[in-house]
């Protein structure tokens, strides 16, 4: 099996996962571009002068203000039927007395007594019905989706144009009291604010009582133009008890009293708005799109008459965002730029001069302004993004031009008939509703089909990994048909799908095409597996994972479905990792490999294989060391915001933020010490296996380039931590250095990696091997090997011959210089390249983190070293393949990657991303380029994923590396006394170490493939669990706060990991190829 | 021979379970406000004492392996002291392992230590009673094909199930149910207790069902 087909196969499996992720994401995370344009008073929304009755009045903007003040009472989760008047009892129907019915009696009274002053509407919220999204909608008039592209992830502040912004720029005083979500959304916008924490869902009263304490005094003081009170009690009561609980009745009665109190204090120029931001389900939750969740109450009241007609029998249904343009025009403000709501025209009928014509004209004017603004937004948006439907867009365009022409014509002839005005109103309304429908179509709907398809694709890919990882070890396994047939199927699927789409003239969606290709290609293998299932394979054989590891993976899988466990994942993952390590140690003991058998009184019947027993003695120490490392790394933790009692580690902040000079210096010393220790450890390791003596360029780079990198990093830290203390004369120098140093370190690392790719063989070449005294190497071959097969056969022979040669010379010279070492160099040639690459990668990544995280990186290297040793203790050396990496090794590796993600100070939520990483080496910012800062921040966030994925092949290599320990230990005493060398080990063969892998190239490739597939499987079930959790719990309270960010981070982590894995495997194969050509050169040199 | 042994095993295990049940109910007659959850530390001490006492009594009465050849007083005293030392050591080792697993280092030291004591009571005390202060024998029992009698087999099962129960007991801690038993280390101690009880029940049954397959080398 060829290397290239292994890589291609892995790339195909990755493509399956990517297609699944993309399909799921396109159905789950609805995206929308956020525009930062603003409406302003001076600038009318459309061409031409402002229409009728808009100019000349003081304080008028687009339209004259009708109210100067507004009281907005926002009762969280005020479902429509909570406010619905209780109808007179219909005889025959059983009387229903639910705790939430008819408790808002004051609304009912007002509606009965002053029908022209008040109106109750059923407002329809757009999903997602979570409070933050609703607040965004209620102020911007748009349809916020979970990810608004272009939004600032560092804070939740709204960047789009919104009512609050318009109010403040018009100089109105906005007073807020209630839910502190507003603080994040509108930082610094309020003239006076009383925020209360919304965190504790079980607390029904703190927020409401806090508001009530301030509400009436503020109202009486008159120091406000807009007063917003956001009550949370009803929502929390729903979450805690559900709507059918007596507590809900109490809460609603309390709200009723509040409204009553406000109504008594209202003046004539004031409008009262009582609104629920969303409803709740029968269990009191919200977030989804069911009828109960999206129907909320909207109540308007003013002491002056508002309406011409009495309210209809059944309350009208209006979209929730209609409130935004309505309020804006009523208050004499411009409508926010991105609004797509439709004004509630009824409110603009002039009541005083009750002429039907003028009131209709007023309504038409409001609608016209609204339509102009929406039209302007639509044009700006479609110029910036392509996600609106073209045909519908054109239809709406035409509709708008017709309606506006009609309106302007009517305006020219003021005596026009009322009927004509009504037509214009209808046209404008049709346009506005059309726009809204189009936007909803493209922005605000979960696509369950896509979500299910994505999840199915992910599951199929996971299953495929499992299947192929198992098939790979069977003797008659050939990769090429497995690769070619799916590709053919996938292409066929794409062609058919594209043809279908072309005939039906639908837009070609690359996501769907990719998913169809993936589905098509995976179907073949699944079908084959299904066919082979019944006949040969029992079910148990399909689950080759050992049972304890399977249990662990299941627990990990299930933990993604609980928001508590996702929030506490940092602790949970340490617990699972610790359990796995103890399990490994216990298993070693159980198998009798932990302690030498002489300790045990009863001799083993099943004697364990020879070499592994010697390594086992340290396993206990390794396990304890690992647990200690994990615990120490756990000291660097950042607390999720959901656990207020927890305190984040102070060590995650950069040194520059520290105050004490002495402590700062000590910490700085510790950080530099960690760097030096890391460097020393890598050099020591290379020296131990002899690779440091090679004259190859990468080794020279390790010897000289790495210390330079350490020096550069230390200097950069010194500068950045003390930048403010620098004397003014040196300031320019310091800024210059803080630009140059990180770039220099990154450049050094890149050049080191390139060197490594160019000459990856770190073994001693001609110095020892080019000696002319060699005998003929190959008996069956004469002449240079012609094909790869020849070479595969020849090369191991050369290696053995070299060993014999060395041994022969050793006997002659009785010296043990670099000659013995040469064998080790070749024996660790793969892992030396891997370790060098990892170190070179780690340094720039480390530079992106805060200084003290370097200690975590040291721990990372230490604990992966310990883990590799522990795992190697449990794996017997197979001499000629098939080689396998056990599942527990792969699982532990993946768990450790996640654990390091947390201990480097990350959390899977957007506000905790380390944004400062974007400024390492670019203190002045990046100008307009976005990919570079994104790359830097991404590298910072997914550093551990990348390192562990690249280092994954070490899992395969390490057991072979550990083979040398036993023999070397026995050799050491003899090194000093050369006379005593005539021992029993004289006849023993030198350890082949990693050259065993070269001896069996087919098995080597299969093992690499299997390793890649297993790692992808372990990562794949994580992303599958995230996707399933996000889709099943899409109504959950925490879906946008916990599950959706977790899914995004996990998906990004998966992509980074898979790329890293691919690179790591490619590096091993590059080394393999280089070793082949290196040995080939030796052969050629010999024959000359 | 074997069946009689299994029967004796069952009775002793029932007595152990009974002692745990007693430790829940008896103290409430003497102490006011006693409840397992609220005065948890008190219950931990009492339960530990009860189980240890029952184990010792059973050891003296049943004598599962009456192989001690020497019976001089000094030998017995040193053996007893050694046992105490081993017990203390196991408490400390468990404490260290809990801390390594993520238990708080400085806060709640007493709680963590008493948790270590109760786990030692469920695991180390039976080991000491059955095998004596003999590490080699312990290591032998807890490895594949290492058991030599019904008693050792049941010891293996109860110990492993106690550990398993403790491990499972840690899972409810992060959940946001806000129950009083989710506080560290109550869920773990309860898990250990349930695991121990389950092991006591399961082991005679398991041995009985598998009695054909089980062959002990010394028997």
| Range of weakest confidence among A537-541, A894-898, A1015-1019 | A537-541
CA A808 to chain centre: 59
Query: What is the model's pLDDT at position A777?
Result: 36
CA distance A83 to A274: 10
Q: How many CB atoms lie within 10 A of CB A484?
A: 12
Token pair for residue A725? 């203390």
- Tell me which of A548 and A1028 has the higher pLDDT: A1028
Strand order in the sheet with A270-275: A192-196, A174-179, A226-231, A69-75, A270-275, A295-301, A118-124, A317-319
- Tokens 């010490």 appear where? A673
Going by pLDDT thresholds of 50, 70 and 90, the confidence category of residue B195 is very high
Cis previous bond, A923, omega within 30: no
Of B2, B9, B50, which is closest to residue B154 (Cα–Cα)? Answer: B9
CA distance B141 to chain A (A): 10
Tokens of A213: 């304490």
Q: Which residues pair with A300 in a beta bridge?
A: A119, A273
Q: Which of A629-643, A1010-1024, B191-205 has the lowest mean pLDDT?
A: A629-643
Distance between CA atoms of residues A883 and A872, nearest Å = 13
Greatest mean pLDDT range, A491-495, A723-727, A732-736, A832-836: A832-836
**ipTM reported for the complex, 2 dp:** 0.94
Dist. CA A433–CA A480, nearest whole Å? 56
The predicted structure's pLDDT at residue A413: 73
Q: Between chains, do B102 and A567 touch, taking CB under 8 Å as contact? A: no
User: Which of A878, A925, A935, A870 has the alpha carbon at shortest distance from A896?
Assistant: A870
Element (H, E) at A902: helix A887-903
- State how far the Cα of B204 lies from the Cα of B218, in Å rounded to an integer: 20
Cα separations in angstroms, A36 against A134, A154, A341, A377 = 19, 17, 18, 11
Model confidence band, residue A790 (pLDDT cutoffs 50, 70, 90): low
Tell me how far apart the alpha carbons of residues A1000 and A1004 are, in angstroms, rounded to a whole number.
6
Min Cα distance A628 → chain B (Å) is: 6
Lowest average pLDDT, out of A106-115, A291-300, A996-1005, A1067-1076, goes to A996-1005
CA distance A654 to A665: 13
Contacts of A100-108 spanning 24+ positions with Cβ under 8 A? A100/A243, A100/A244, A100/A248, A100/A249, A100/A252, A103/A249, A103/A252, A103/A253, A103/A255, A103/A256, A104/A252, A104/A255, A104/A256, A104/A259, A105/A256, A106/A256, A106/A259, A106/A260, A106/A263, A107/A83, A107/A256, A107/A259, A107/A274, A107/A299
User: Which helix or strand (DSSP H or E) is residue A421 part of?
Assistant: helix A418-443
Determine contact, residues A323/A138, Cβ cutoff 8 Å: yes
**What is the C-alpha separation between A126 and A287, in angstroms, rounded?**
10
Distance from CA of A986 to the nearest CA of B (A): 35
What are the C-alpha distances in Å from A142 to residues A125, A127, A390?
11, 12, 20
Distance from CA of B81 to the nearest CA of A (A): 24
DSSP A1041: I
Q: How far apart are CA A117 and CA A306, in angstroms?
A: 5
Q: What is the DSSP string of A915-970?
A: GGGGGTT-TT--TT--HHHHHHHHHHHTHHHHHHHHTTTHHHHHHHHHHHHHHHHH
8 Å CB contact between A223 and A192: yes
Chain B: closest CA distance from residue A848 (Å): 28
Q: Give the pLDDT band (50/70/90) at residue B97.
A: very high
State mean pLDDT over A1045-1053.
93
Nearest CA among A455, A285, A525, A61 for reference residue A1034:
A285
Closest CA to A322 of A303, A301, A305, A300: A300
Give mean pLDDT, residues A713-717. Answer: 91
Q: How far apart are CA B195 and CA A186, in angstroms?
A: 53
Taking phi over 0 as left and psi of -120 to 50 as alpha, with beta for the rest, A188 belongs to: left
CA-nearest of A750, A719, A712, A735 to A847 is A712
Contact B140 A574 (CB under 8 A): no
- Whole-number average pLDDT of chain B: 87
Q: Which two tokens stand for residue A631?
A: 């615990």
Residues 6+ apart with CB under 8 A from B83: B128, B132, B133
| pLDDT of B168 strictly over 90 | yes
Residue with tokens 């790339």: A11
Distance of CA A968 to the CA centre of its chain: 46
Q: Chain B contact for A631, CB < 8 A?
A: yes
**Measured between CB atoms, which of A562, A564, A602 is closest to B146?**
A602
Beta bridge partners of A179: A196
Mean pLDDT of chain A: 80
Q: What is the pLDDT of residue A965?
A: 55
pLDDT above 70: residue A612: no
Q: How high is the pLDDT of residue A521?
A: 85
> Which positions in chain A touch B178 (Cβ < 8 Å)?
202
From A565, A589, A631, residue closest to B100, measured CB to CB: A631
User: What is the three-class DSSP state of A876?
Assistant: coil
CATH second-level architecture of A31-86+100-443? 3-Layer(aba) Sandwich (3.40)
- Note the pLDDT of residue A782: 40
User: A559 near A565, Cβ under 8 Å?
Assistant: yes
Q: Residue A975: pLDDT band by 50, 70, 90 thresholds?
A: very low
Q: Are A873 and A595 in contact (CB under 8 A)?
A: no
pLDDT band of residue A1061 (cuts 50, 70, 90) is very high
| Residue percentage of chain A with pLDDT more than 70 | 80
Chain A neighbors of B176, CB-CB under 8 A: 563-564
Provide the residue ranges of all domains of chain A, joining segments of one domain with +. Answer: 1-25+447-532, 31-86+100-443, 561-597+612-764+826-966+991-1087
Chain A residues whose beta carbon lies within 8 Å of the beta carbon of residue B144: 590-592
How many residues does this entry show for chain A?
Answer: 1088
pLDDT of residue A815: 39
Least confident of A305-314, A318-327, A597-606, B12-21: A597-606
Report pLDDT digits (tens) over A342-386.
Answer: 999 888 876 565 566 778 888 888 898 899 999 999 888 888 877
Strand-pair category, A192-196 with A147-149: unpaired
Q: Tell whether A627 lies on the interface with B, counting CB pairs under 8 A.
A: yes
Mean pLDDT throughout B177-204?
91
Q: A578 and B136 in contact by Cβ < 8 A?
A: no
SS3 helix, strand, coil % of chain A, rounded to 5? 65, 5, 30
Q: What is the pLDDT of residue A154?
A: 47
Contacts of A627 in chain B (CB under 8 A): 97, 100-101
Contact B167 A627 (CB under 8 A): no
- Mean pLDDT over B133-141 rounds to 85
Q: Where are the beta strands (DSSP E) in A276-423?
A: 295-301, 317-319
Neighbour-count burial for A420-452, b at 16+ CB within 10 Å, e otherwise: bbeebbebbbebbebbbebbeebbbebeeebbe
Query: How much is the pLDDT for A969?
Result: 42
Span of A72-81, A424-433, A523-532, A736-745 with lowest mean pLDDT = A523-532
Cβ-based interface (< 8 Å): residues of B facing A:
97, 99-102, 136-137, 139-140, 142-146, 148, 167, 170-171, 174-176, 178, 217
- Nearest by CB: A602 against B140, B167, B175: B140
Instruction: Report residue A647's pLDDT band, with 50, 70 and 90 as the boundaries.
Output: confident
A738: which residues sit within 8 A by CB, 6+ positions away? Answer: A716, A719, A720, A723, A921, A923
Phi first, then psi: what are they for A537, rounded to 5°? -90, 125
Alpha carbon distances (Å) from B57 to B63, B64, B126:
10, 12, 11
Point out the least confidently predicted range of A426-435, A877-886, B210-219.
B210-219
Instruction: Give me the residue from B139, B142, B175 closest to A599, CB to CB.
Output: B139
Distance CA B183, CA B192 (A): 15
Q: What is d(CA B137, CA A641) in angstroms, rounded to the nearest whole number?
A: 50
Percentage with pLDDT > 90 across chain B: 47
pLDDT recorded at residue A188: 86
Minimum mean pLDDT range among A972-981, A993-1002, B188-197: A972-981
The contacts of residue A495 (CB under 8 Å, 6+ apart) are: none
Q: Note the pLDDT of residue A973.
A: 37
| Residues of chain A above pLDDT 90, percent | 30
Enter the pTM of the model: 0.77
Q: Residue A771: is its pLDDT beyond 70?
A: no
Spell out the residues 6+ positions from residue A84 whose beta carbon is closer than 8 angstroms to its own. A101, A102, A120, A297, A315
Are A565 and B174 an interchain contact pair (Cβ–Cβ within 8 Å)?
Answer: yes
Range in A28-32, A318-322, A916-920, A1062-1066 with the lowest mean pLDDT = A28-32
Q: Which of A75-89, A1030-1044, B75-89 has the highest mean pLDDT?
A: B75-89
Least confident piece of the model among A833-847, A960-974, B9-23: A960-974
Confidence band, pLDDT 50/70/90 cuts, at residue A814: very low
According to the model, what pLDDT value does residue A152 have? 47
User: Cα(A458)–Cα(A251) distance, rounded to whole angstroms?
Assistant: 45
- 3-state DSSP assignment of residue B183: coil
Three-state SS across A699-711?
HHHHHHHHHHHHH
**Gap between the Cα atoms of B163 and B141, Å rounded:** 16
**Bigger pLDDT: A648 or B81?**
B81
- Answer with the residue of higher pLDDT: A106 or A60: A106
Backbone φ and ψ for A703, nearest 5 degrees, come out as -70, -40
Q: How far is A1083 from chain B (nearest CA, A)?
A: 50
């Amino acid at each position: 099996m060829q290397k290239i087909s292994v890589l291609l196969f892995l790339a195909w499996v990755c493509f399956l996962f990517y297609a699944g992720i993309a399909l799921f994401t396109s159905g789950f995370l609805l995206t929308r571009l956020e525009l930062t344009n603003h409406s302003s008073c001076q600038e009318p929304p459309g061409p031409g002068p402002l229409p009728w009755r808009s100019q000349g009045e003081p304080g008028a903007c687009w339209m004259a203000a009708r109210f100067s003040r507004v009281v907005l009472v926002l009762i969280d989760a005020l479902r429509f039927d909570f406010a619905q008047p209780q109808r007179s009892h219909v005889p025959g129907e059983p009387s229903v007395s639910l705790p939430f019915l008819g408790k808002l009696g004051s609304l009912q009274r007002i509606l009965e007594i002053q029908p022209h002053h008040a109106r109750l509407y059923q407002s329809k919220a757009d999903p997602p019905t979570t409070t933050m999204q609703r607040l965004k909608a209620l102020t911007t008039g748009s349809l916020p989706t979970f990810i608004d592209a272009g939004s600032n992830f560092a804070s939740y502040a709204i960047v789009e144009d919104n009512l609050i912004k318009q109010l403040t720029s018009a100089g109105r005083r906005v007073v807020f009291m209630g839910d502190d979500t507003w603080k994040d959304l509108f930082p610094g916008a309020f003239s006076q604010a009383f925020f209360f924490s919304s965190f504790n869902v079980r607390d029904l009263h703190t927020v409401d009582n806090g508001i009530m304490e301030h509400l009436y005094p503020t109202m009486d003081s008159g120091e406000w133009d807009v007063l917003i009170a956001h009550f949370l009690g009803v929502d929390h009561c729903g979450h805690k008890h559900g709507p059918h609980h007596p507590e809900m009745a109490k809460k609603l009665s309390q709200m009723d009293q509040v409204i009553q109190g406000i109504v008594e204090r209202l003046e004539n120029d004031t409008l009262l708005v009582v609104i629920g931001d969303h409803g709740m389900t029968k269990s009191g939750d919200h977030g989804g799109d069911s009828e109960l969740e999206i129907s909320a109450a909207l109540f308007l009241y003013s002491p002056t008459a508002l309406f011409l007609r009495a309210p209809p029998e059944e309350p009208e249904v209006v979209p929730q965002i209609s409130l935004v343009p309505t309020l804006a025009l009523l208050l004499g403000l411009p409508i926010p730029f991105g609004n797509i709501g439709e004004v509630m025209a009824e409110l603009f009928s002039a009541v005083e001069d009750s002429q039907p014509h003028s009131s209709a004209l007023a309504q038409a004017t409001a609608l016209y302004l609204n339509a102009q603004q929406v039209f302007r937004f639509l044009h700006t948006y479609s110029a910036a993004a392509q996600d609106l439907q073209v045909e519908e867009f054109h239809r709406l365009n035409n509709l708008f031009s017709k309606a506006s022409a009609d309106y302007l014509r009517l305006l020219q002839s003021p005596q026009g008939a009322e009927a004509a005005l009504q037509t214009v109103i209808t046209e404008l309304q049709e346009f506005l509703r059309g726009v809204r429908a189009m936007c909803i179509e493209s922005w605000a709907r979960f696509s369950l089909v896509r979500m299910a398809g994505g999840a199915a694709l992910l599951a199929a890919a996971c299953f495929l990994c499992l299947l192929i990882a198992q098939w790979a070890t069977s003797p008659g396994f050939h990769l090429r048909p497995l690769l070619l047939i799916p590709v053919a199927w996938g292409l066929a699927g794409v062609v058919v799908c594209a043809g279908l789409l072309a005939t039906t003239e639908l837009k070609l969606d690359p996501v769907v095409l990719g998913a169809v290709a993936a589905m098509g290609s995976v179907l073949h293998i699944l079908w084959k597996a299904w066919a082979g299932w019944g006949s040969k394979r029992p079910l148990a054989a399909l689950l080759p994972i050992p049972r304890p590891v399977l249990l662990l993976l299941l627990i990990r899988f299930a933990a993604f479905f609980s928001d508590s466990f996702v929030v506490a994942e940092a602790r949970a993952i340490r617990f699972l990792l610790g359990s796995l390590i103890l399990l490994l140690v216990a298993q070693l003991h159980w198998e009798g490999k932990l302690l030498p058998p002489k300790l045990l009184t009863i001799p083993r019947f099943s004697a364990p294989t020879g070499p592994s027993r010697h390594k086992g003695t340290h396993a206990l120490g390794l396990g304890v060391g690992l647990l200690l490392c994990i615990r120490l790394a756990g000291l660097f933790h950042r607390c999720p915001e959901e656990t207020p009692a927890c305190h984040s580690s102070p060590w995650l902040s950069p040194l520059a933020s520290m105050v004490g000079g002495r402590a700062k210096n000590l910490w700085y010393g510790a950080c530099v010490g960690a760097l030096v220790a890391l460097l020393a450890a890598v050099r020591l390791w290379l020296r131990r296996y002899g690779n440091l003596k090679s004259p190859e360029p990468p080794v020279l780079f390790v010897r000289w380039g790495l210390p330079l990198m350490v020096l550069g990093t230390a200097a950069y830290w010194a500068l950045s931590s003390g930048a403010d203390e620098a004397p003014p004369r040196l300031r320019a120098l310091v800024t210059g250095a803080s630009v140059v140093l990180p770039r220099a370190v990154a450049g050094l690392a890149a050049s080191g990696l390139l060197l490594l790719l160019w000459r990856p063989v770190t073994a001693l070449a001609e110095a020892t091997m080019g000696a002319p005294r060699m005998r003929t190497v190959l008996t069956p071959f004469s002449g240079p090997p012609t094909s790869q097969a020849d070479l595969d056969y020849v090369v191991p022979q050369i290696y053995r011959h070299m060993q014999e040669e060395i041994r022969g010379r050793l006997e002659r010279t009785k010296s043990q210089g670099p000659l013995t070492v040469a064998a080790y160099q070749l024996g660790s040639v793969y892992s030396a390249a891997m370790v060098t690459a990892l170190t070179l990668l780690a340094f720039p990544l480390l530079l992106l983190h805060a200084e003290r995280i370097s200690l975590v990186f040291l721990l990372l290297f230490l604990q992966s070293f310990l883990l590799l040793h522990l795992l190697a203790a449990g794996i017997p050396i197979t001499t000629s393949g098939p080689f396998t990496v056990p599942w527990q090794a792969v699982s532990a590796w993946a768990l450790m990657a996640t654990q390091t993600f947390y201990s480097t100070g990350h959390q899977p939520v957007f506000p905790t991303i380390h944004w400062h990483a974007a400024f390492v080496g670019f203190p002045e910012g990046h100008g307009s380029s976005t990919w570079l800062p994104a790359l830097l921040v991404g590298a910072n966030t997914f550093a551990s994923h990348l390192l562990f994925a690249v280092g994954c092949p070490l899992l395969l290599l390490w057991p072979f590396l550990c083979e040398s320990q036993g023999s070397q230990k026995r050799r050491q005493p003899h090194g000093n006394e050369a006379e005593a060398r005539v021992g029993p080990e004289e006849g023993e063969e030198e350890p082949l170490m990693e050259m065993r892998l070269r001896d069996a190239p087919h098995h080597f490739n299969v093992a690499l493939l299997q390793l890649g597939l297993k790692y992808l499987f372990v990562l794949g079930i994580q992303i599958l669990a995230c996707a399933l959790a996000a889709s099943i719990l899409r109504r959950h309270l925490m879906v946008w706060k916990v599950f959706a960010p977790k899914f995004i981070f996990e998906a990004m982590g998966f992509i980074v990991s898979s790329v890293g894995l691919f690179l790591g495997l490619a590096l091993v194969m590059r080394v393999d190829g280089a070793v082949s050509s290196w040995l080939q050169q030796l052969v050629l040199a010999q024959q000359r | 021979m074997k069946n009689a042994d299994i029967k004796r095993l069952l009775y002793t295990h029932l007595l152990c379970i009974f002692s745990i049940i007693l430790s829940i109910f008896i103290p409430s007659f003497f102490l006011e406000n006693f409840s397992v959850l609220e005065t948890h530390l008190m219950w931990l001490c009492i339960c530990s004492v009860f189980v240890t006492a029952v184990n010792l009594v059973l050891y003296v009465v049943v004598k599962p392996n009456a192989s001690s050849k020497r019976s001089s007083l000094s030998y017995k005293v040193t053996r007893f002291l050694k046992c105490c030392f081993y017990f203390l050591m196991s408490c400390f080792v468990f404490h260290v392992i809990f801390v390594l697993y993520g238990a708080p280092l400085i806060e709640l030291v007493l709680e963590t230590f008493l948790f270590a004591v109760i786990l030692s009571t469920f695991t180390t005390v039976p080991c000491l009673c059955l095998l004596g202060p003999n590490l080699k024998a312990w290591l032998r029992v807890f490895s594949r094909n290492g058991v030599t009698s019904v008693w050792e087999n049941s010891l293996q099962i109860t110990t492993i199930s106690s550990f398993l129960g403790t491990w499972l007991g840690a899972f409810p801690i992060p959940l946001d149910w806000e129950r009083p038993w989710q506080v560290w280390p109550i869920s773990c101690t309860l898990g250990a207790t349930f695991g121990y009880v389950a092991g006591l029940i399961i082991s005679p049954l398991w041995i009985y069902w598998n009695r054909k397959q089980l062959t002990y080398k010394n028997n």
